[in-house]
Structure 1
Amino acid sequence: MSTTPIKLLTPGRHRLTLDVDDRERELWVFVPTHTAEPSEGWPIVLTFHGGLSNAPTMMRFCELNELGDTAGFVTVFPNGTGRLPSMKTWNAGMCCGYAQREDVNDVHFIEELLADLPQRVHVDPSRVYATGMSNGGMMAYLLADKLSDCFAAVAPVGGTMGNDTCHPKRPVPVMHMHGTDDQFVRWEGGVGSRSKSKLDFNSVDHAISNWVAANRASPQPLIEKLTPEVNDGTSIEKFTYAATDADSAEVILWKIFGGGHTWPGKESRLELLGPTTQNLDANSVIWEFFQRHRLPL
C-alpha cells in the first residue's frame, strides 16, 4: 500500500505531534528563515524546557531559535508530559514530577522524534545536539548517556545528572553551565531552598566527575578566570577537562559565581529564579561548542 510522503517543512515555526507509547507528544520546530540550508543538511539543536514549564515558555526563556535563524541551525523544542498544558516535566532519572511518577519513557520519545525528523527537514546526522534548562538539562545528560550514538555533544544548563552513574557507548562532549547561587538545583547538591520538587539533587561535581571518567578526559582541568565585562555581581570561571586522545571527549564547566537558576545572557522574567549573569552569553557559547563537534558516522 502506498503512503503519502510527508512534506518538508518550510522556513519558520511549526508545531508537530507524534504518537509515542499511546501518548500524543508535542514539539515545535524552527527552520531558519535567514540562512540557506547547508549542502549536508541542517544541524539540529534539541532544547529541553525545565520542570513545571513547557516548550513555548522555553522558547521565550532562552531564545535559542533566534540564534538558529541567523547562525543556520534548526531548533527543536520538545514538550514533556503533565496534567496541565503549562506545567510539563521530563523523566530524567531521579527527576521530575508527573513524567517520573508515570514512568514516561522520554528517551524513547526522543528516539522516535529523531527517526521522524529527517522526513520533515534535511538533517545532518553528524550534527545533532541537545541542551536544556534544569530538568531539561538533566534530560540532556540522560540522552548523552542512553543515546550516545545519536548526539554529537550536549550542553546542560542549571541541571545536574539524574542518575548515579553514566555508561555511554561512546564519549560525548559535555559542556555544563551552573550558578553558585542556584536555589533550585544547588551547586553542592541536596534540596534547594526554592525547589518545588524538594528532591535531593546530585551535585555539579557528581555530574562532572562522572563524565570526565566516562569520556576519558584529563582529570586535571585548565582553569580560566574571565574578566567581568558587566558589573552585575557575577563572575565566571571556566574549567576545561581536555580530551586526551581520539577516543576521548572534552568536558567543560562554566562556574557562574553569583548566578541563579537562569539562562546566562538572557534576563529572567522571574525574580525568584535569582540573578542572571550578563558576563556570559549561553546561546553563543553553546553554539560555538557544538560547532566544534561532529558525530563519527
Structure 2
Amino acid sequence: MAGQKGEKERERAFYENGGKLHEKLIASCNGRPIPIRSYSCEELLRATNNYDPSHIFHRDKWYNGSFEGRMISIKKYSRYDKNSLFTDIAVSAKMSTHNNVLKLIGCCLEAQVPISVYESAANGSLSGRLFNVTSDHDGAQQHQREPLSWQSRLKIAREIAHAVSYLHTAFSRPIIHRDIKSGNVFLDQNNVAKLTDFSLSISIPEGQTHVEDVVYGTVNFVCPHYMVTGYITEKVDVYGFGSFLLELLAGQSKWKDLFCNPDSFDVEDFENDKFFFAINEVVDPAILVGEEGSVVWQQLQAVLRLALICRKKDPEIRPNMVDVTKELRKIERFIL
C-alpha cells in the first residue's frame, strides 16, 4: 500500500508540476515551449549516490552527479517557492543555447519540489574560487586551490557581461537577472564562466521602459534606485554587475573591507593622486604580486573605473551591458 501511495503522489506531482512548468515555458518562449528531458527520482538518486553529501559542490543544494556516462550538475531547490523555481527553469531553458549560461538538460517533475539537471560545472562555483573555500561532506569549510589569476578573472568578467547583454537584448521582452554575483557563476572543465540561477529574473513588457516589483536581491548588489522606487530596468543588472566586478577585483582579502565602506572610492579617484592608494586598497594582493607598472596594473585601473561607473547611484549615468561588454573586450586586449 505504501508503495502505491508513493507512486500516486509522484504521479500527482508530475502532472501538477508539469502543467505549471508548461504554462511558464509557453509564456516565456512566445508560445513555443522548449522540450526538456524528464528524469525520474530513482535516476537522480543513482546519479548522486542517494544525494551523498560528499557530492555537494555549492552550498547545500548543488550536487555533482553522473548519468549514462556523462557528468551532470543537479540542483535541489532549498526554498519552496514554485513561482521562482519555475521561472528559474524556464529562463534557463530559454538561455541554454548561450555558451556562458549553465545549460539546462532536464528536470525531475515527479518530486514534490522539482529538481533541475544541468551540464557539469566541473570546477565549481566562482565564489568558491574567489574566496578560496569549498564545502566538505560535513559542511565544514576547507581552503583549497590557488587563487584565480587576473587574466582568468578578466575573462570571466567579459563572459558574464556577454551573457547578461544577451539577456537584455536577444528577446522582445528584455530579461533582468536581478542577482548577478559570484555565487551564481559556475566554471566548467575549461574554466568557461556560466551564469546560473534565474529564480529572481523578471521580464520588461514589450513597449515599456521598466517593470515594477518588490525588492529582491543580495545586499551590496541591489540597485539603490530600485530599492527606493521598485522600478526595474536593465540598469538594475548593470549595478549588480558593477558589484560583481568588485568581487573579482577584491577577492577574499579585500571584499569585506571594501563593502564596509562602499563610498570610499569614486570615479574621480582616478583623476588624481588617490589612484595608487585605491588600487592597493581594493585589489586582491594575489593579483598585484610583481605587477606594479605593468599592463595588468593599467587593466586593473580600467576595470575598477568601470565597476564604479556601473555602480553610480543615478541609473542614467550607468552604461548599458552591451557597452560594458565592449569595454571589457577592449581592456582584455589592452586597447585602451
TM over 0.5, shorter chain: no
Structure with a larger share of its residues in strand? 1
TM-score (ref. length: structure 2):
0.27
Structure with a larger share of its residues in helix? 2
TM-score (ref. length: structure 1):
0.30
